[in-house]
Structure 1
Amino acid sequence: MQQTHMKQLVYTRIQAWKRCMSLAQRCTNMRTLKPTHAVFITHGLHLNNYAVSKLIAFCALSDSGNIRYASLLFNQVQTPNTYMYNTLIRAHSTSSEPYLAMHYFRLMLNQSDLEPDNFTFHFVILGCVNCAWIVPGRQIHSWVVKNGMVIVDAHVQTALVRLYVECRVLGDAHMVFDEISERDMIQWNVIMNGYVKCGLASEALRVFRDMLVRGFEPDDFCVATGLAACAHLGALWQGKWIHEYVRKRKGLDSDVFIGTALVDMYAKCGCIDLAVEVFEGMAKRNVVSWSAMIGAFGVHGYAAEAISCLERMQVDDGIKPDGVVLLGVLMACTHGGLLEKGKALLDNMKAQYGIVPKHEHYSCVIDLLCKAGRLSDAFELIRRMPMKPLASVWGALLSGCSIHNNVDLAEIAVEQLLQLANDDRGEEVGAYVQLSNIYLGARRSEDALRIRKMIGEKGIKKTPGCSMLEVDGKVNEFVSGDVSHSHCVQICTMLDLISADSFQEL
């Protein structure tokens, strides 16, 4: 009799377990999860790690979940397992509070019966990436090496490369990258992207060429990154070579991201006709493609064509413009001097396109007003902005004052720029030099001399200018004041001779 009762009790508990787990699997949002949690408590399953881990995973990782509720569930568990820790570390690493990934990692280390695994390291490093935490990231890197996981786990390797790229420690990023014996496309793209973001596009192209030499076939992301590097450098010859490679690779020539990257590359290399040719030949276009084409027209002074694209994207492809597209049109109006068009677009953005103007939209129109000599209107618009004006706005006003010699507004603009400079010596010297030139233009030489003296006393130096020139596929950089060239003396001597000859002819 007692044995029968025990069997019945076990059977009842198994059925209750199955019903509870079925309820957990059917959860689609927090409204259905909370009653399920209550059922778990009623049947004592809140004490079972496996059962609770299902609730934690839904709350932490589902788009319909609640990461804070997941943390509350976790806090009620007496002895959390590795899966629970990894779930919360993973969820927080990509959340708005990525530093909490490190918090749960440290809790895990304090639990003596648990050891971090490859998933733990991968997610906690991603948390450091999203916090841009280099010191804790280095410590975890050391731990990873000590545990031998960097050698075997591709996700951990990629996360470490991302960490050093995000923290702009590219030497360490490449060191980790070089240690990877079997690289994948994601790792190649991460290191290339890092160089591009840090302004080292020539290094990104070197990595791209190395990838091809080693027999890797780049995917669409790697090709797009290579084209972005060409665009940054103005490396037209290399960009054309990549374009030819795309034509020969089946599937790549129809990729919307590569097509967009080609449009941007040709435009930035000065070949607007080739940019248009690629754009018109694209089988599919998205809002980014239209934005690239509009930006290309704007930079090359084809304001009317940029405005036409705004209409075409809606009619031809049924795509609604976003804030980036409208910014491109405003920039085209600025380059083309279309004041009324630009003002009308800013005024009607909300009503016509449902987009609230942001700071950059106001900045564009203020720049447009300044170039048109409407400095008072520009200053009035600055005062009416619904957000605090940043350096780009005051810089546009200062440039306008420099062109039209308005001393009073220039002094206001410089005062505001210096407040926003945050000890950026480059911003400071730029503002002071422009103000000095404006004083000279207004024949206020004493004020100009005072500003120049102030620059000298503060020891502020202007960042030297840099030019780039592509010759036979190789990009050469020239920096003002650089004397490191092996033939520097001969070059300077020749320049002196040319200058002397030119002077004598005059």
Structure 2
Amino acid sequence: MSQLLYTTQAWSRCMSLAQRCSSMRNLRATHAVFVTSGVHLNTYAVSKLIAFCALSDSGNLPYASLLFEQTQTPNLYIYNTLIRAYYRSSEPHLAMYYFHLMLKQSGLEPDNYTFNFVILGCVNCSCLVSGKEIHSWVVKNGLVLLDAHVQTALVRLYAECKVLYDARKVFDEIHQRDVIQWNVLVNGYLKCGLASEALEVFREMLVCGFEPDDFCVATGLAACANLGALWQGKWIHEYVKKRKELKSDVFVGTALVDMYAKCGCINLAVEAFEGMRKRNAVSWAAMIGGFAAHGYATEAFHCLDRMQVVDGLRPDGVVLLGVLMSCTHAGLLKKGKSLLENMKTQYGIVPKHEHYSCVIDLLCKAGQLEEALQLIRRMPMKPLASVWGALLSGCRVHKNVDLAELAVEELLQLENKDSEEEAGAYVQLSNIYLGARRNEDAVRIRKMIGERGTKKTPGCSMVEVDGKVNEFVSGDVSHLHRAQICAMLELISADLLQD
């Protein structure tokens, strides 16, 4: 049939044109030749055009969908191409659409590629229900035991949707694991705020004889940073030194800088930073962030200059935020205000909400509450909770009740506030009333908190002792060595009083 519609020469010409496509302009011209030659009726030929539109950096995904609609009998390759393209796009839910369309209209059986792509589509649109539906399909087709990509996608689905019990269950059912699957599980625990569990899985990976890659090592170091687990972070550093490819890796080096800085060892962070053979903007941001957290504003500004001169890198918004934070910690009001005002002209960076929030916090700590309010009013975007929270904290320190009431009122009017932010605002306002000796107002606020059932998450701190991370939660008395800890704190307090 196809031989009656087009000649061998036409086929060869069309295939050659499709292979040479480098832009959508080329592709549209090639598509026109396909139509005039009759080659557009051949499913295999059209699949070449769809693949370029859907997967090429120069492609156009809506045009790929248009070509699909004009194809009489799309094959499995075409469906897989569109599902793959859409799961990576800004509309990942359309991967599910084409998957269901394939099942309903084509009679085609999905293969391992189909399942891998559609599960990742569920991951990217956080659609757990659809993901579980696909999981049941996978089990029926026996692919869980056969295809590593599908297995990894399932672990990622449950990890990204924060269903870690199911992520671990799928992971444990994999007979031949690979490093990527370990990476996904470790990262899943870390993203859910379970740094201790992430570190435990990292250790388990090493015990099982797997060599972690750069991504997994960086994730392990991030877990140490979150926990303040210096000893364990140093152990990973020693492991890195034994592997040449990790020692020179920019992501691992950056993770080391961040870990040491967050564990309170700024000198070791500097040592790790200076030892890096190659640095990127994230590396400089980590070092500047470390200096900021430790109050070394001069060093942060020095880094800002060095990254441009030494590595030829222009600072981005994250780097400049780190420098602003250093001003906040060091109380450099003039420098912080100047940097915010000159960000666009000097660095080509338009200040975002977090930059304004940082300077507002700086103004509040300096007692410049009215100026902070004026800056809030001038912000080109709607102030979020962090801004009003900074003003509220400043009001508590400097005992400004009127502005505190305004800040709470504005904070409670925000659309995206959560119950914890609301509870925190009320607690702060109650404390401000107490500080101003307005006891009746303080009691009224506390009573309102109780009536609404509003709860604030208890404060939590962690400290590493002999390689073990100890966690302390406000109001919790269950720690095994609580009596000894309290006794030691009393001794320290007594010594401080004597001094």
Normalised to the residue count of structure 2, the TM-score between the two structures is 0.95
CA distance in 2, matches of 1:464, 1:118: 46
Q: Which amino acid is 1:410 matched to?
A: A
Alignment counterpart, residue 343 of structure 2, candidates 343, 349, 367: 349
Question: Which residue is equivalent to 1:264?
Answer: 258
Per the alignment, residue 389 of structure 1 pairs with 383
Shift of 1:36: 0.8
Could you tell me how far 1:461 is from its partner in structure 2?
Answer: 2.5
Give the Cα–Cα distance (whole angstroms) in 2 for the partners of residues 11 and 416 of structure 1. 70
Maintained 8 Å contact 1:89/1:124: yes
Find the counterpart in structure 1 of residue 139 from structure 2: 145
| Structure 2 residue 113 is matched with structure 1 residue 115 | no
Paired amino acid for 2:81: T
Amino acid corresponding to residue 163 of structure 1 in structure 2: L
CA contact (8 A) 1:359 1:389 kept: yes
CA distance, structure 2, for counterparts of residue 448 and residue 303 of structure 1: 38
Aligned to 2:319: 325
> Given that residues 49 and 77 in structure 1 are in contact (C-alpha distance below 8 angstroms), is that contact kept between their aligned partners in structure 2?
yes
1:75-134 residue CA offsets vs partner (Å, 9 max, x unmatched)? 111221111111111111010110000000000010353101101000100110000011
| Residue 336 (str. 1) matches residue 324 (str. 2) | no
Q: Which residue of 2 aligns with 1:5?
A: none
2:93 is matched with which residue? 99
Is 1:222 aligned to residue 212 of structure 2? no
Q: Name the residue aligned to 2:374.
A: 380
* Aligned 8 A contact 1:436 1:451 in 2: yes
Cα deviation, 1:200-257, whole Å, max 9, x if unaligned, reads 1111111111111111111111111110010000000000011111111122111111
Does the aligned pair in 1 maintain the 2:6–2:38 contact within 8 Å? no
Q: Find the counterpart in structure 2 of residue 66 from structure 1.
A: 60
Aligned to 2:294: 300
Cα distance in structure 1, aligned partners of 2:107 and 2:265: 63
Cα offset for 1:447?
A: 1.4
Correspondence for 2:473: 479
Q: Is the 8 A contact 2:83 2:98 kept in 1?
A: yes
> Is the 1:122–1:156 Cα contact (8 Å) retained in structure 2?
yes
- String of CA shifts for 1:294-347, please: whole Å, max 9, x gaps: 000000010010011000111111111111000100011111111111111111
Q: Deviations over 1:141-162 (max 9, x none)?
A: 1110111111111111111111
The CA distance in 2 between the partners of 1:484 and 1:434, in whole Å, is: 27
Matched to 2:458, the amino acid is P
Seq. identity, %: 77
Instruction: Return 229-238 or 479-488, whichever deviates more.
Output: 479-488
2:192 matched residue in structure 1: 198
Q: What CA distance in whole angstroms lies between the structure 1 residues aligned with 2:91 and 2:456? A: 38
Indicate yes or no: 2:17 matched with 1:17.
Answer: no
Shift of 1:445: 1.9
3-state secondary structure, aligned to 1:180? coil
Amino acid corresponding to residue 105 of structure 1 in structure 2 = F
Structure 1 CA distance for aligned equivalents of residues 160 and 489 of structure 2: 48
Of the three residues 29, 33, 42, the one matched with 2:36 is 42
Give 2:246's aligned residue.
Answer: 252
Displacement after TM superposition at 1:429 (Å): 1.5
Q: Which residue of 1 aligns with 2:454?
A: 460
Q: Is the 8 A contact 1:327 1:361 kept in 2?
A: yes
CA separation in 1, counterparts of 2:238 and 2:489? Answer: 44
Maintained 8 Å contact 2:86/2:93: yes
- Contact 1:228/1:261 (<8 A) preserved: yes
Give the secondary structure class of the aligned counterpart of 1:251: helix
Is structure 2 residue 440 aligned with structure 1 residue 434? no
Picking from 171, 179, 182, the partner of 1:185 is 179
Q: Quickly say closer, same or farther: Cα 1:497–1:37, change in 2 above 3 A.
A: closer
**Alignment correspondent of 2:165:** 171
Q: State the partner residue of 1:287.
A: 281
- Provide the rounded CA distance (Å) in 2 between the counterparts of 1:255 and 1:40: 48
Question: Relative to 1, partners in 2 of residues 1:12 and 1:431: Cα closer, same or farther, differing over 3 Å?
Answer: closer
Q: Tell me which of 410, 413, 418 is aligned to 2:412.
A: 418
- How far apart are the structure 1 equivalents of 2:338 and 2:488? 53
Aligned to 1:359: 353
2:412 alignment partner AA: L
Q: Which secondary structure state, in structure 1, belongs to the residue aligned with residue 279 of structure 2?
A: coil
State the SS of the aligned residue for 1:177. helix
2:365 equivalent in structure 1: 371
SS for the counterpart of 2:144 is: helix
1:486 to 1:282, Cα distance in 2 relative to 1, 3 A: closer
Runs of 4+ deviating beyond 6 Å: 9-12, 494-499
Distance 1:250 1:371 in 2: 46
Which amino acid in 1 is paired with 2:194? Answer: L
1:185 Cα offset (Å): 1.5
Distance in 1 (CA, whole Å) between partners of 2:94 and 2:6 is 40
Conserved 8 A contact 2:385-2:421: no
- Whole-angstrom distance in 1 between the partners of 2:6 and 2:331: 80
In 2, distance between residues paired with 1:24 and 1:330?
52
What is the aligned partner in structure 2 of residue 80 from structure 1?
74
SS at match of 2:123: helix
Are the equivalent residues in 2 in contact too, given 1:421–1:428 (CA < 8 A)?
Answer: no
Asked if 2 retains the 8 angstrom alpha-carbon contact of 1:421 and 1:427, the reply is: no
Q: Secondary structure of the residue that 2:383 maps to in structure 1? A: coil
Cα distance in structure 2, aligned partners of 1:463 and 1:11: 71
Unaligned ranges ≥5, structure 2: none
Classify the secondary structure of the residue corresponding to 2:446.
Answer: helix
What's the secondary structure of 1:136's corresponding residue? helix
Structure 2: which amino acid aligns with 1:325? V
RMSD: 2.2
2-side partners of 1:116 and 1:101: how far apart? Answer: 13
User: 1:407·1:439 contact (CA, 8 Å) conserved in 2?
Assistant: yes
Letter in 2 for 1:110: K
* Structure 1 residue 498: Cα displacement: 6.5
1:412, distance to aligned residue in structure 2 (A): 1.3
